[in-house]
Structure 1
Amino acid sequence: MSEARGLAIAGLTKAFGGVVALDGATVEFQHGKVNALIGPNGSGKTTFFNCITGMIRPDGGQVTYRGRDITGAAPHRIVHAGVGRTFQLCRVFPRMTALDNVLAAVRPTGLTGLLRGARARAEVDRARGWLTRLGIEHLADVEARNMSWGQQKLLELAGVLMSDPETVLLDEPAGGVNPALLDRIGTLVRELNAEGRTFVVVEHNMDLVMSVSDHIVVFDRGRPIAEGPPSLIRSDERVLGAYLGV
């Protein structure tokens, strides 16, 4: 792989019983750019993310980040290496406030330490800073269960950013989000990318994909079938027919 600093995947395979989810997938994401990963439901995108981030172990292949083999590493070790990730279904603590959710994402002693009330002022200030940056500072003392789906997505992202990842994987950030919050998410991705963070975004909303992405990878049946800038993907007949409905 040519970019030692970035996220590179070679020959990744994963099967569940007789169903092949990943079929020798080889992808090199552009470091310092906004990458999108698109494809129909069942094409292997979420399994791909799960293998990269240590949620499941691949059957074969290799995942490297900044030249380091992270294949099958525990999720917390992958976070420590600099790769953060959100989920298609938000992972937040519903009965905890927004502020405590963000703090829980990075506290070394985990949730137990948080519930004991051990708080470092610098940590709290940084957590509030991310809530402000994402436009939900007014919800700092609101329990996550009382927030909208879009607000929970922003909250989850705030928790991811607390670990200061160099690369952020977003799994369907537009799903179930109203247009106003969707615009905010798109703006945030571009702003954070301009500040030096790499993004890989799994998304079905083609307006968002085309507006924020520098590079797009198209998945089908567990492996990439096309990749390139939005202008090229827009004109690819396989993509037009199968995914964009043109």
Structure 2
Amino acid sequence: MTERNGSGEALRTEGLTKAFGGVVALDGASVAFRHGQVNALIGPNGSGKTTFFNCVTGMIRADGGRTTYRGRDITRSTPHAIAHAGVGRTFQLCRVFPRMSALDNVLAAVRPAGLLGQLRGAHGRAEVDRARSWLTRLGIEHLADVEARNMSWGQQKLLELAGVLMSDPETVLLDEPAGGVNPALLDRIGGLVRELNAEGRTFVIVEHNMDLVMSISDHIVVFDRGRPIAEGPPSVIRSDERVLGAYLGV
């Protein structure tokens, strides 16, 4: 893992907007996520959370507004450039190669070293060892030779995360890591996030499981109708009337 440095903001948006036809998904969203912390982005279905992730990671182009990462403008950057800047990302629906083994899935996250290696599609021993170490860290080393399609949904979630971590991102965006995951794996994911954060990685997590969010987050931003309506530590968000209104209609 590379050395982490600095403090303050990791990711900031100013007036971020995105509409799909007549549906406004992001409505001038201005928000900041803190470097070195576990940040959460929560809100009702349709509040713009995944669209926000897609815009800030370059998967789709925002209609307006500005995004900066560690003070650098990435508004018009490509997904590859944003990843190279240090931002990794998982998806709500796992993006793994179903007919490839778990080990090959993790190795696919990095290019083989050297021109000859790239031509042959071969990875060096150091990369293979590092891939295996991530599988071990995430508790799925016993599945190294198993095709991803034969793994459970929760195991695929862990596999996707292993692939993201293989590129050594400074900041990791997780889109619903608890979705469809059994309680045992959910505890593992929560513990891993906290461990990796303690080692220096920043997290921004989109999640509906409030028990998980409240237990691992340092800072929470709440979206409703494409814009932030509240932010703060879990102790503040739990009792915020605007948050209760967005979720419960009260």
**Higher deviation after alignment, 210-219 or 5-14:** 5-14
Structure 2 partner of 1:223? 227
Query: How is 1:1-246 mapped onto 2 (pairs within 5 angstroms)?
Result: 6-107=10-111, 116-243=120-247
Q: Which amino acid aligns with 1:58?
A: A
Is this contact kept in 1: 2:9–2:34, CA < 8 A?
A: no
Q: Which residue of 1 aligns with 2:3?
A: none
Q: Structure 2 length normalisation: TM-score? A: 0.92
TM-score w.r.t. the length of structure 1 is 0.94
Cα distance in structure 2, aligned partners of 1:41 and 1:218: 12
Per-residue deviation, residues 134-183 of structure 1 (Å, max 9, x unmatched): 00000000000000000000000000001100000000000000000000
The Cα of 1:206 is off from its aligned counterpart by 0.2
Structure 2: how far apart are the matches of 1:108 and 1:81? Answer: 19
SS of 1:218's equivalent in the other structure is: strand
Gaps of 5+ in 2: 1-6
CA RMSD of superposed structures (Å) = 1.7
Q: 99-108 or 143-152, which moves further after superposition?
A: 99-108
Aligned-residue offset at 1:107: 1.6
User: How far is 1:243 from its partner?
Assistant: 2.3
Following TM superposition, the consecutive aligned residue runs of length 4 or more in structure 1 with deviations greater than 2 angstroms are: 113-117, 240-246
Q: How many angstroms apart in 2 are the aligned matches of 1:94 and 1:115?
A: 23
User: What is the number of residues matched between the two proteins?
Assistant: 241
- Which whole-Å CA distance do the structure 1 matches of 2:179 and 2:103 have between them? 23
Letter in 2 for 1:237: E
> Which runs of 5 or more structure 1 residues have no equivalent in the other structure?
none
Partner of 2:4 in structure 1? none
The alpha-carbon deviation at position 242 of structure 1 amounts to: 2.9
Q: Which amino acid aligns with 1:84?
A: G
